[in-house]
């Protein structure tokens, strides 16, 4: 097997030195055995004569590399892959190791140990980045998967040079029919690439690994080619696909029609031979050779071909029309049979955009196997973990627990909506993993939720009025997008402070679309028999009768606005001289009496606040929590009133009495309504709010909601 630098497969006892960008290649003495070492052009570890500190730093970095190389075989052997790090700052070292997917654990440890030892003894010890491909070629027709890859670096991110690096070796023999050979090669590689990226199809013993065969010449003694593709397991599906496509093209460009070849890359590996070199039990049936081109020389043959050329496309079009008609008819029938609150067809109704599929092993590595120290919070969905990808990006991973109160349909609903909705005030969905566990990956927001600030007197001090007002405006803009500006009309149904997350700059982002509802066309509201959400933020028409509309979210927004102004939770009790009232009732009473200063958070009073702007927000909050949904402003009006206080005078409607202005000690609890535990009416309906006694006994007190309690 030779490289693009003319490295011959039969040069058994020759030492090959082909220098390409600090590339050193060693060909061993056995048949087609070779070891490839690449040293990147990184700063040298050699100490400067004028600096004693560089000697210490270089020695520390290389010591960390050596320690990781010693640990790598035992760490990677059980699964065939490991990514390790050691040290701090500029001395931190990263090591990766990968064995071929069909390698046993014992052999993997042996090959990694030999490769690590060779790498330590190579000239690369003076470089901060290097990689070694260790392969014996597995010749003689006996499968013996002696291949592994080891690399070390001073970061966990591949450089552009490493991503573009490809080294190919190829057989000198050329296929008799190069066109047929290349056609079969491309078909086989496309099939294997799809299997590696999607993890589908076969009895592959390892993730991101696939083998297969294709017949390119049925009449030849060696008329079958055997292919093997593999990616580093810390690559995303998109990165893996891109790496494999480049490698497939590399072998085609350099070695057209050659009967065998291998391409080494930092993030993927390709091999193709015309003899078996792996366990054929891993394969499915071989791909058949493409049908030869028919050249008809007689008129009758030409006429027959012309007839087929017309008949086949026409028949295909007719069949497609029939299938589409049947599909549309069945979908319409199923839609009429489906209850309004069933999410099973939501992806058909609004169009499903599939999120990027992320590898489970990558997520486990990012979260340190979902360790307790990376746990951000938990709720009805399960747990939320902070993770760091190999390129340094931080993520938040929601892990659906097996006993979760949020079912798979709610998860599906969240994926459908979050994948289609893009706005700066909505949390961004990055991907999903459904391989062994149900995981949803979002952008990481370091300041977590608004709830963590409102419920903590110390953290609440960081929320001066300018920040509170910016958060209120951001939530309003997010609702405006959901209700009016997106391709869908979406009602969140569970808007509350714990579902408003804050980024590093305290910008708000609405999260958790598990129970959201999307409308199409002119539909503006619907009725559900399964009201779910959080008491205290649910509008009265939704809590009592299950009526859902955009005004339901506006009510929740109004409660949040008043919580931001008062610094009190909606279930807080205010004790007056003669009675106790809820937060909404207290604000309403003070507004009617003209004593607005009495309801403002004392922390705001200490730091100072613009009275007109605060008064404007109080009135907007009271307008949003009115009992009649018709009286509440829509999202566009709210945004206008927040951006232009003078527009309040053009809104010819003063706030009326809010809903849920309870007194005599009745308080709302920030709890989830559990469907199975709710009291029933005589006709089988759900009794959501009753008198004081029944309310205290039927509402759960475990402070668990259907959404994340303290997310991200």
Residues at the binding site are 399
- How far is it, in rounded angstroms, from Cα 695 to Cα 674? 13
Read off φ and ψ for residue 2, nearest 5 degrees. Answer: -120, 160
- Give the dihedral sign, CA 43/44/48/49: negative
Cα gap 584→571, rounded to integer Å? 9
Burial of 285 (0-12, 13-18, 19+ CB in 10 A): exposed
Burial 208-222 (b: 16+ CB within 10 A, else e): bbbbbbbbbbeeeee
- What is the rounded CA–CA span in Å between residue 229 and residue 243? 11
Beta-strand runs (E) in 367-462: 375-378, 382-388, 394-400, 429-433, 439-443
Contact 705, 698 (CB under 8 A): no
Q: How many CB atoms lie within 10 A of CB 294?
A: 8
Q: What burial letters (b/e) apply to 303-335, b meaning 16+ CB within 10 Å?
A: eeeeeeeeeeeeeeeeeeeeeeeeeeeeeeeee
Residues contacting 299, CB < 8 A, separation 6+: none
List residues bridging with 457 in a β-sheet. none
Catalytic residue check, 494: yes
Q: What angle do CA 225, 228, 233 make, to 5 degrees?
A: 170
Tell me if 357 sits within 8 A of 207, measured CB to CB: no
Residues with Cβ within 8 Å of 536's Cβ and at least 6 positions away in sequence, in order, are 496, 559, 569, 570, 571, 660, 668, 669, 670
- Would you tell me how many other CB atoms lie within 10 Å of the CB of residue 683? 5
* Residues whose CB falls within 8 Å of the CB of residue 650, separated by 6 or more in sequence, listed in order: none
Annotated binding site for ATP: 399
Find the catalytic residue in 494, 512, 553, 670: 494
Query: What is the rounded CA–CA span in Å between residue 619 and residue 616?
Result: 5
Cα distances from 224 to residues 137, 177, 194, 203, in angstroms, run 18, 13, 20, 20
* CA-closest candidate to residue 152, choices 123, 134, 127, 135: 127
For helices 550-566 and 635-643, what crossing angle results, to 10°?
30
CB 172 within 8 A of CB 307: no
Nearest by Cα to 113 from 153, 64, 76:
76
Strand-pairing partners, residue 153, are 94
CA distances to 467, 505, 509, 566, 610 from 470, in Å? 5, 11, 12, 16, 14
C-alpha 578: how far from its chain's center? 54
Enter the DSSP assignment of 13: T
Active site residues: 494
């Amino acid at each position: 097997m030779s490289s693009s630098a003319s490295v011959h497969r039969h040069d058994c006892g020759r030492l090959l030195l082909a220098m390409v960008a600090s590339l050193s290649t060693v060909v061993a003495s056995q048949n087609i055995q070779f070891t490839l070492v690449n040293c990147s052009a990184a700063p040298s570890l050699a100490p400067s004569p004028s600096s004693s500190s560089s000697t210490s730093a270089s020695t520390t970095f290389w010591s960390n590399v050596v320690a990781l190389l010693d640990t790598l075989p035992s760490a990677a052997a059980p699964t065939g892959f490991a990514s390790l790090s050691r040290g701090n700052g500029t001395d931190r070292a990263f090591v990766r190791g990968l064995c071929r997917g069909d390698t046993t654990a014992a052999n993997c440890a042996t090959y990694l140990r030999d490769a690590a030892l060779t790498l330590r003894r190579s000239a690369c010890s003076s470089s901060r980045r290097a990689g070694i491909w260790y392969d014996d070629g597995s010749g003689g027709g006996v499968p013996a998967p002696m291949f592994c890859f080891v690399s070390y670096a001073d970061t966990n991110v591949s450089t552009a040079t490493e991503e573009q690096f490809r080294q190919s070796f190829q057989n000198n023999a050329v296929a008799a029919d190069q066109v047929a050979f290349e056609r079969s090669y491309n078909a086989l590689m496309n099939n294997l690439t799809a299997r590696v990226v999607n993890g589908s199809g076969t009895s592959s013993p390892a993730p991101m690994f696939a083998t297969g065969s294709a017949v390119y010449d049925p009449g030849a003694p060696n008329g079958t080619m055997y292919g093997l593709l593999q990616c580093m397991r810390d690559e995303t599906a998109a990165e893996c696909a891109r790496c494999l496509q480049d490698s497939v093209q590399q072998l085609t460009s350099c070695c057209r029609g050659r009967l065998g070849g291998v391409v080494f890359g930092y993030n993927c590996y390709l091999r193709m031979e015309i003899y078996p070199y792996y366990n054929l039990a891993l394969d499915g049936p071989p791909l058949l050779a493409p049908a030869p081109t028919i050249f008809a020389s007689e008129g009758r043959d030409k006429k027959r071909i012309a007839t087929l050329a017309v008949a086949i496309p026409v028949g295909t079009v007719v069949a497609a029309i029939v299938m589409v008609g049947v599909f549309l008819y069945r979908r319409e029938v199923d839609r009429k049979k489906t209850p309004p609150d069933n999410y099973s067809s939501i992806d058909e109704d609004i169009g499903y955009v599939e999120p990027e599929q992320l590898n489970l092993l990558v997520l486990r590595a990012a979260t340190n196997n979902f360790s307790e120290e990376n746990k951000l919070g938990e709720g009805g969905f399960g747990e939320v973990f902070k993770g760091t990808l190999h390129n340094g990006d931080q993520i938040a991973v929601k892990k659906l627990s097996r006993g979760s109160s949020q079912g798979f349909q709610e998860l599906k609903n969240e994926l459908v909506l979050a994948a289609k909705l893009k706005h700066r005030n909505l949390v961004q969905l990055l991907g999903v993993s459904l391989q062994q566990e149900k995981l949803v990956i979002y952008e990481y927001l370091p300041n977590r939720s608004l709830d963590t600030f409102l419920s903590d007197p110390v953290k609440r001090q960081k929320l001066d009025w300018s920040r509170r007002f910016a958060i209120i405006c951001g939530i309003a803009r997010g609702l405006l997008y959901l209700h009016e500006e997106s391709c869908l009309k979406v009602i969140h149904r569970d808007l509350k402070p714990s579902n408003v997350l804050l980024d590093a700059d305290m910008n708000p982002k609405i999260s958790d679309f598990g129970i959201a509802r999307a409308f199409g066309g002119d539909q503006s509201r619907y009725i559900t028999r399964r009201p779910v959400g959080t008491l205290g933020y649910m509008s009265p028409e939704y809590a009592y009768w299950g009526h859902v509309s955009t005004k339901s979210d506006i009510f929740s927004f109004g409660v949040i606005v008043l919580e931001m102004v008062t610094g009190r939770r909606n279930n807080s009790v205010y004790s007056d001289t003669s009675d106790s009232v809820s937060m909404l009732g207290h604000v309403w009473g003070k507004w009617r009496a003209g004593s607005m200063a009495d309801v403002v958070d004392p922390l705001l009073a200490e730091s100072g606040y613009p009275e007109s702007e605060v008064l404007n927000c109080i009135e907007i909050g009271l307008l949003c929590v009115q009992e009649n949904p018709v009286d509440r402003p829509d999202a566009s009006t709210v945004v206008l009133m927040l951006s232009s206080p003078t527009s309040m005078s053009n809104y010819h409607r003063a706030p009326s009495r809010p809903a849920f202005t309870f007194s005599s000690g009745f308080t709302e609890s920030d709890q989830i309504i559990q469907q199975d535990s709710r009291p029933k009416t005589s006709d089988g309906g759900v009794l959501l709010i009753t008198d004081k006694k029944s309310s205290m006994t039927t509402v759960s007190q475990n402070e668990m909601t259907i959404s994340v309690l303290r997310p991200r």
